[in-house]
A and B are shown apart, each in its own frame.
Chain A
Amino acid sequence: MYYNVFGEKVSRRRFKEMCNAAKNRRELIAAGLTSRRDLFKMGLLTAGGMLVAKSGLSARVWGQQSFPAPASSGSNQSPGSFNLCVPGNQTASPNTTPFLDPLPIMPNPVTVAASTLNPMPTICPNTGSGPDGTEVRAACHQAPELNLGMFPFPPPRVYKFTQEQFTVRQTSDQRLPAQTIWGFHDQGNVKVNGPISPGPTYAANYGTPQMTRNINRLPSVNQKNNTGFGFPSVTTHLHNGHTPSESDGNPCDFYPAGNFCDQYYPEVLAGFNSTNPPTGDINESMSTLWYHDHRVDFTAQNTYKGLVGFHLLFNQFDTGNENTGFHLPTYPDFDIPLLFADKIYDPTTGQLVFDLFNLDGILGDKFLVNGVIQPFLQVQPRRYRFRLLDTGPSRFYEFFLTQLNNTNATNPFWVIANDGNLLPNPVQVNSVRIGVAERVDIIIDFSNFAGQTIYLENRLNQINGMGPVPPSGFTSGQFECTGPDSHIQSDILPAGKGNLLLQFQVSSKSVKDGSVNPATNPTFYSLPDTTATPRITRTFKFDRLNGQWSINGQFMTCDHFRFLVQQNSVENWILFNATGDWTHPVHIHLEEHQILSRNRVAPSLVEKSRKDVTQLHPNERVLLFFRFRDWLGKYPIHCHNVVHEDHAMMGIWNVVASGADTVLVP
C-alpha cells in the first residue's frame, strides 16, 4: 500500500511518480504555475521522467500549507512533520520521531596555558610555524598595541580550538544515519575530547580579555572527501563583538587547513577609547553573541555544516547569578542558549544535504536545536532565561509557547534582550519574531505549567527564501499559497500547526526561584543617546537585478573598500529595500546600531534597543544611528540571509584614523 502525505491511498505507479516528481520546485516554476491549485495539479499529473531529480529541499519551498495529520496517525511520526507545510505528492526529509533526545547543552571551553601554543603567540602575525600550523592574520593585535596594561598579551584566558570534520547523530531515531559535519574541538577540554557542533559556549567576562588560537584542521578539499557541500577554507566571525578588525573574522580573511589565526577578544565596552574612557559605556553591554564561519561566498555551506557556537558575555549586572546584579536566572542551570537551524536530509539516504544551486534562500523541514532534531528539555516550575538564536540559512521564526491540549490559550512570556542586548525593561509578548542571525533573550515562567508539557513553536509561515508570508491583505501573486481547501495562507499558522521546535517537560515539584520577576518591571541598561548630529548620512539600497543581489547596485569584492568611516564618529545610515517582495536581515559589524525609524515610524518596544541585525522588509526605509568607536580596520555590511550574502549582497568598508570619505551612496 502506498500513501501520499495526506494519508490518501495511491497506486504504486503513482507513488513512483510522486517520488520522482517530488524534487523540483523549479520545474514547477518554469512551467508557469502561478497558483497552488496548479501546483497540486502539476504535482499529481506530471510524469516522473519529466522532472529533474532533486533533493527534498525544494519540494517544500513552494509548499508551506498546513493540513491535518492523517487520520490513521498511529505511526510515530513527528508531530512537527505532521504540521509542517509539505505540498501534496512531494517527498520530504525522512520521518523522525520528535522529542527523543535531551537538549544538548554545549560545554564551556577550558583555557590552555599560552606556553602550550606552538608557535608561541605574538602580537604581530607570527612568522614562524609549528605543530599548530602557520598563522594567517591581517594585522597586529590592536588591543595590546593600544594598552598592554588593559589588554595584556597573552591575555588572561587563552583557548585553543581546532575545526575538524566528525561524525555525529542528530537524532537517536535510527531512520536517520549519523552525519558527517564540521565542528569545533576545544583542545583544553579533556572531558569532551573531540569536535562538537554547535561549538563550545564561551562564558566571557567584561574586563577579562581572551584569545582563541583558531586552527583549521578540516580535511583538505583535495582529499576528495567532501560530503557534497562546504569549503574547508574558514574565517570565524564573532557576531556582534566589539572586536578589532584583525580578530573579527572578516569574510576576506579566510585560510585553508594547516593554518590558524589567533583571535584576540578584548571583551571591552564600546567607548573605552573614545566616548567613555577608560572602561567604556556600561549601556553598551552585550550579553548574547555567537560565532560562525564567514568565508566569503561559502558562509551558508560552512555554517550549515556546523561551524557555529555561542559566545556569552557577563558583567557586574548581568552576572550569571540570580542572587546578584540584575538577578537574572543563574547560568548555566536556568539560563540556556538555544541555537536554531533548519536542515534537509536526503529522502533516501538520510544524509544532510545542501542545495548548492539555490540563489534565493534555503528552507529546511527538520528543526535542530543545539544540534539535535526536536529535542526535549526537563525544566522546573520556575523562571528560565533562554537565549534564542536563528542561524538560518534563510528562515525567519516567530516563537510562541504552545500547549497542544489547549491551543486556544495564549501563553505570554517576557523579552528581555534584543540581539543579545538587555532592553531598558522587560517587555511582555505573546510571540516574538527573529530573522537569521538575530537573537532574542526571553524569560519563561514555567510555574504556571507545573507538571505539564509545553512547546516552543515556530508559527511563522514561510514558503521560500523571499521571507515570511506577508500578513493577509498583502497577498501578491507569488505569495498566494492556498492549501487543498483553497484557503489563502496566513502569515501566522494556528497553534500546534507550525513547527514544534523544543518540548519542555515541566516537573511538578515547586522550587525556589531567586530570579527577578519581570512583572515587577526591573530596569536594565539605558539606551545610549542618539541625538548627536551625524557626520554623514549614508544610504544603502538593497536590490536584486537579474537575480544578482546588490547593495547600491554594487557587488561584493574583497579588492577594495566601499567607503571610509572616520574613527569615533557618528553616522546615520538609511537601509532601503528596493525589492518589493524580499525581506533582508541586514547585519553590520563592529558597532551596534539603534533603529531611529521604520518608514518614519518609531520602532516597537522590543526593537527600541541596540541591534546588530535589522530586518529590512519589502519597500521599507529604515534609519539607523551609529557611533563607530575605538577600533580601526575593515568590516562588512551584508544581508544575513546567508544565501544572499554568499551571492554578493555585501560590501567591505574601513574605519580610518584620518581620510574618511563623504560618499552618501557608497
Chain B
Amino acid sequence: MIDESRRKLLGLLGMAPIAGGVLSMSAASATASDTRPGTRAAGSTRAATSDRSMSAMARRRIQEQHLPNIPLLTQEGKQVRFYDDLIKDKIVTINFFFAKCDEICPKVMANLVKVQKLLGDQVGRDLFMYSFTLKPEEDTPDVLKRYAETYKIRPGWTLLTAKPKDMELLRRSVGFTNPDPKLDQDINQHIGNVRYGNEPLMLWGVCPGMAHANWIAESLGWMMRPDSIRVGSPAAAHDH
C-alpha cells in the first residue's frame, strides 16, 4: 500500500516540470549500474553525463530547500531577491542580528568588521557579506543604514530587512534555528553563527560568529580558492 502511494507520489510530482526532469534522471541512474551493491559500477560515459546533471539537480534541490527567493530591502532601501540577487553564482556569508541586540550581536558584528578588513577588496568583488535582521519590524532600512555607519561597515557587506514572515522563512531555511522550540523563540538565544558558502560549487560551511576573525577569513578563503592547501601550519611546530 505504501509502495503504491509512493508511485502515486512520483506520478503526482512528475506533472511539475522540474520534478519531471528529476524523475527521468532518477530512472537513468537506476539503470546506470546493475552491479551488486557494495561493488563498483563499471565506469562509462553515461556515468559522467549523469554526474553533471546530478550536480545540477543537487544544486536545484539546495536552492529550493534552503535558499528561498524572498524579497528584501537593503540598508539603502533597494529591493532585492534573496536567491537571484544575493546568492546565485556567488560566494557569500550569512548571519542574523538586530540593531538593538546588546549581547551577542555586537561581538559578532565587530568580529565581522575585522573579517571584512582582513579580506580587503575581495569583499564586494569575490565575496559578499549579508546580515539579516531578526527584528524586521523595527529595523527599517534607515535603522540599518545608521547601524552600518556606526560599525563602519563598508561596501560588499549588506544589511537587510524584509517582511517578518519572509525573514522567518529565510531564517528557518538557512538553518538558524534551535532544536528546542522554546529556545528558538527566545531572540536572545538566536544563532550566532556565520554561514559561508559557494553557491555554484555547493560548498557550505559554518563558523561561530565569535571565532577568531583570522579563522573566519581563512574559511572564506576556501570558498574562493577551494583547491588551497593547509598542511604544516601552525608552524610545523614540533621541536624534535
Task: A30 to B96: give the CA distance in the assembly, Å.
Answer: 15
Question: A586 near B: Cβ within 8 Å?
Answer: no
Q: How far is the CB of A553 from chain B (nearest CB, A)?
A: 9
| Contact A15 B8, beta carbon cutoff 8 Å | yes
Question: A16 near B: Cβ within 8 Å?
Answer: yes
| Contact A55 B37, beta carbon cutoff 8 Å | no
Task: A196 to B54: give the CA distance in the assembly, Å.
Answer: 20
Instruction: Determine which of A16, A72, A632 lies in contact with B240 in the assembled complex, contact meaning CB atoms within 8 Å.
Output: A632
Interface centre among B171, B173, B181, B182 (most CB of A within 10 A): B181
Question: A617 near B: Cβ within 8 Å?
Answer: no
Question: A560 near B: Cβ within 8 Å?
Answer: yes
Q: How far is the CB of B186 from chain A (nearest CB, A)?
A: 10
Chain A residues 221-264 with CB under 8 Å of chain B are: 221-222, 224-229, 231-233, 245-246, 252-259, 261
Q: A15-B12, A558-B215, A647-B206 in contact; A349/B26 too (CB < 8 A)?
A: yes
CB-defined contacts of A70 to chain B, threshold 8 Å: 1-2
Task: A145 to B238: give the CA distance in the assembly, Å.
Answer: 14
CB-defined contacts of B237 to chain A, threshold 8 Å: 561, 633-634, 654
CB-defined contacts of B193 to chain A, threshold 8 Å: 359, 546-548, 647
| Contact B229 A72, beta carbon cutoff 8 Å | no
Question: B117 near A: Cβ within 8 Å?
Answer: no
A-B contact count (CB 8 A): 359
Chain A residues 537-552 with CB under 8 Å of chain B are: 545-550
Interface centre among B25, B35, B231, B236 (most CB of A within 10 A): B231
Task: State how many residues of chain A have any CB contact under 8 Å with chain B.
Answer: 136
Question: B104 near A: Cβ within 8 Å?
Answer: yes
In this complex, what residue of B is CB-closest to A38?
Answer: B181
Q: How far is the CB of A97 from chain B (nearest CB, A)?
A: 10
Q: How far is the CB of B240 from chain A (nearest CB, A)?
A: 5
- Render B4-32 as a binary contact track against A, CB cut-off 8 A, 1 for contact: 11101110110000010011011001101
Instruction: Determine which of A220, A252, A372, A555 lies in contact with B208 in the assembled complex, contact meaning CB atoms within 8 Å.
Output: A555
Task: A195 to B207: give the CA distance in the assembly, Å.
Answer: 32
- A residues in contact (CB < 8 Å) with B: 1-3, 5, 7, 12, 15-16, 19, 23-24, 26-27, 29-30, 32-34, 52-55, 61, 70, 72-77, 91, 94-95, 101, 104, 136-139, 142, 145-146, 165-172, 174-178, 180, 183, 192, 194-196, 219-222, 224-229, 231-233, 245-246, 252-259, 261, 297-298, 346-351, 353, 355-360, 370-373, 375, 464-466, 477-478, 545-550, 555-561, 581, 632-634, 646-648, 652, 654-658
A-B CB contact pairs (8 Å), 21 listed: A3-B2, A5-B2, A24-B172, A52-B68, A53-B64, A101-B36, A177-B26, A183-B40, A233-B226, A349-B61, A351-B58, A359-B191, A359-B206, A372-B38, A478-B180, A545-B192, A546-B190, A547-B190, A557-B215, A559-B212, A654-B237
